[in-house]
Amino acid sequence: MRAILRSLFVVCLLATACAGASPGPAVAQEQALEIRSASQPFKIDDPSAKTVGRLVWRGGIMMTANSRHFGGWSDLHVSPDGKTLTSISDEGAWLTAAVEYDGEANLIGLSNARIGQLHGLDGQLIASKAEADAEAMARQPDGSWLVAFERDHRLWRYRTLTATPTPVEGPAEIGRQPPNGGIEAMTALDDGRVIMISEEYSERAGTVVGWIGTPSTGGRYQWRSFSYATIPDFRPTAITRLPDGSYALLERAFDMVRGVRCRVMRFDANQLVAGGTVQAEELARLASPYAVDNLEGIAATRGPRGETLLWLISDDNFNPLQRNILLLFELAQ
């Protein structure tokens, strides 16, 4: 069995390397989407399990849909009331859907979904993988969206996800990032500041570079860098601000023997200082037999009892050996 699993991981790696051409052309136009949700087991070998680390299971779903463009979900936003989900993919698609719960406020599905394609600066739909690799998004105080792209590293602001964007000048180092290791973690604060962390760009061993963007004139930002401490194999893929003002992050690792592993991390806001180094604490580690896949998006809301909820979404790389999953956890006090 172990040999078979290793062979599957090899195939998975090869398919991932070729994933850019998998979905075909861009979504032709905005359209309704039927999402089929199946319950995602929390722990395959223990149906009674409910916790991992400091996270309490609140439901999960495996998602398929009636569109070949459904997948590759790279970041996540959930409205403060927990009713609406928005995501973007690394093929330049966007997704919106209503969130469905059971009688105990646990996640059971998505409905009323729509899918569309982001536009380029020329007003046309983005069609090529090199231009469409959206990896991070942040909802800004005015309701607009800031989107970070990889490969051609850049920031674009969208008034709505169906609008033509305007370019935003990023940090001076933005173009130094590895082609497939750019900004994957990004969030916006109520005062307009933007927090970003690169997946792979490093200026000091054991860290990757992050930036704090303070709004300036003309839609610009003043960028100041900080360091985010990493451990071997794991790199940040998403960040969100928690209701208490601290931050939660996702880190991901992958190899052919152990498969995908993810760490859910947290750090206090006072660590976020220009020139400083953020040392995050591990809340939980997700690896088989727990529910896990290529998790790349995180969001936080308050639940009906005032509890802190964490939402995680995966990028399936349009690979049949991977899945689009959406997971919901409660952060234990």
d(CA 234, CA 157): 29
Closest by Cα among 223, 179, 217 to 201: 179
Residue 235 lies in a domain: yes
What percentage of the chain has pLDDT greater than the value 90?
Answer: 88
> pLDDT-based confidence at 128, cuts 50/70/90?
confident
**Contact predicate 27/65, CB 8 Å:** no
User: pLDDT: is 10 or 303 the higher one?
Assistant: 303
Contact between residue 332 and residue 307 where contact means Cβ atoms under 8 Å apart: no
Report residue 182 as tokens.
């750019």
∠ CA 154-20-327, rounded to 5°: 80
Q: What is the mean pLDDT of residues 290-303?
A: 97
User: Would residue 21 count as lying in a domain?
Assistant: no
pLDDT tens track for 320-330: 999 999 999 99
* 150 closest CA partner among 126, 180, 120: 180
Token duo for residue 65: 């849909």
Rounded Cα distance, 280 and 283, in Å = 9
Report the run of H or E that residue 6 belongs to, with start and end.
Answer: helix 2-17
Q: Is the pLDDT of residue 20 over 60?
A: no
Residue at 8 is within a domain: no
Q: Which of 217, 308, 295, 301 is nearest to 263 (CA)?
A: 295
> What are the tokens at 175?
């173009």
Q: Which amino acid is at 193?
A: R
**Residues 265, 229: contact at Cβ < 8 Å?**
no
Number of domains the chain is built from: 1
Q: Which residue from 145, 141, 96, 86 is spatially nearest to 119, judged by alpha carbons? A: 145
Q: Is residue 25 part of a domain?
A: no
pLDDT value, residue 1: 34
In this structure, is residue 287 part of a structural domain?
A: yes
Look at residue 23 and tell me if it is in a domain.
no
Q: Can you give the CATH number for the domain in which 106 is found?
A: 2.120.10
The average pLDDT across 80-90 equals 97
DSSP count for the chain of H helices, then E strands: 2, 24
Domain span including residue 108: 30-331
Global pTM?
0.92
Q: What is the pLDDT of residues 167-184, one digit of tens each?
A: 999 999 999 999 999 999
What is the tens place of the pLDDT at every residue in 199-218?
Answer: 999 999 999 999 999 999 88
In the three-class reduction of DSSP (H, G, I as helix; E, B as strand; rest coil), residue 250 is classed as strand
In this model, does residue 42 exceed pLDDT 50? yes
266 vs 114, 215, 269, 270, 295, CA distance in Å?
32, 25, 10, 12, 16
Q: Is residue 24 part of a domain?
A: no
Does residue 3 lie in a domain region? Answer: no
